[in-house]
Chain A
Amino acid sequence: MNQLKYTKTHEWVRNDNLTVAVGITNHAQELLGDLVFIELPLIGKAVKKGDSVAVVESVKAASDVYAPISGTITEVNTALAENPALLNQDPYGSGWIMKLSMSNPEELNSLLQEEDYNLSIEEH
Chain B
Amino acid sequence: MPFIPHTDLETKEMLKEVNASSIDELFAEIPRALRAKDFNLPLGLNEMTMQKTAEQLAAKNKNLVCFLGAGSYEHHIPAAVWDIASRGEWMTAYTPYQAEASQGTLQLLYEFQTMMAELTGMEVANASMYDGATALAEAVLMSIRLQKNLPNPKKIIVPATLNPLYKATLNTLLSPLNIEIFTLDFAQKTGTIDINSLPDNKEGYSTLIISQPNFFGCIEKVNELTDWAHANQMLVIGCVNPTSLGLLTPPGKWGKKGADIVCGEGQPLGIFMASGGPYFGFLTTKLAYVRQMPGRIIGRTVDKNGKQGFTLTLQAREQHIRREKANSNICTNQGLLVTAATVYLSLLGPEGLKNVALAAHQNTMALVNKLAAIPGVSIPFKTPVFHEVVLTLPKSSKEVLNKLLERNILGGYPLDADYPLFKNSILVCATEMRTQEEIERYSLTLESILTTDKNNMLKEKTWN
Contact surface of A with B, Cβ cutoff 8 Å: 37, 39, 42, 45, 57-58, 60-62, 64
Contact = CB atoms under 8 A, between A and B. Distances in A.
A37 B322 CA distance: 14
Contact of B325 (A37, A42, A58, A64): A64
A58 B291 contact: no
B30 interface: no
Given A61-B316, A61-B321, 10 more contacts: A37-B291, A37-B316, A39-B291, A42-B149, A57-B291, A57-B316, A58-B316, A60-B316, A60-B321, A64-B325
A19 B325 CA distance: 30
B194 to A, nearest CB: 35
Nearest to B149: A42
B149 A62 contact: no
Nearest to B322: A62
A84 B410 CA distance: 59
Give the secondary structure class of A's interface: strand
Among A37, A39, A62, which residue has the most Cβ atoms of chain B within 10 A? Answer: A62
Interface string B76-120: 000000000000000000000000000000000000000000000
A66 B390 CA distance: 54
Contacts of B325: 62, 64
Among B316, B317, B321, B322, which residue has the most Cβ atoms of chain A within 10 A? Answer: B316
Nearest to A61: B321
A61 B317 CA distance: 9
A39 B317 CA distance: 12
Nearest to B326: A62
18 contacts: A37-B291, A37-B316, A39-B291, A42-B149, A45-B149, A57-B291, A57-B316, A58-B316, A60-B316, A60-B321, A61-B316, A61-B321, A62-B316, A62-B317, A62-B321, A62-B322, A62-B325, A64-B325
Nearest to B291: A37
B325 to A, nearest CB: 7
Nearest to A41: B149
Interface residues on B, range: under 10
A57 B317 CA distance: 9
A42 B147 CA distance: 12
A72 B288 CA distance: 26
Interface in B42-101: none
Contacts of A45: 149
Interface string B320-346: 011001000000000000000000000
A45 B322 CA distance: 24
A45 B151 CA distance: 11
B316 to A, nearest CB: 4
Nearest to B318: A62
A61 B315 CA distance: 8
Contacts of A60: 316, 321
Nearest to B325: A64
Nearest to A44: B149
Interface in B292-322: 316-317, 321-322
A94 to B, nearest CB: 23
A39 B149 CA distance: 13
Contacts of A58: 316
A60 B149 CA distance: 27
Interface in B224-262: none
A22 B317 CA distance: 24
B233 to A, nearest CB: 14
A60 B320 CA distance: 11
Closest 5 CB pairs of A and B: A62-B316, A57-B316, A42-B149, A62-B322, A61-B321
A58 B325 CA distance: 16
Contacts of B322: 62
A79 to B, nearest CB: 19
B280 to A, nearest CB: 27
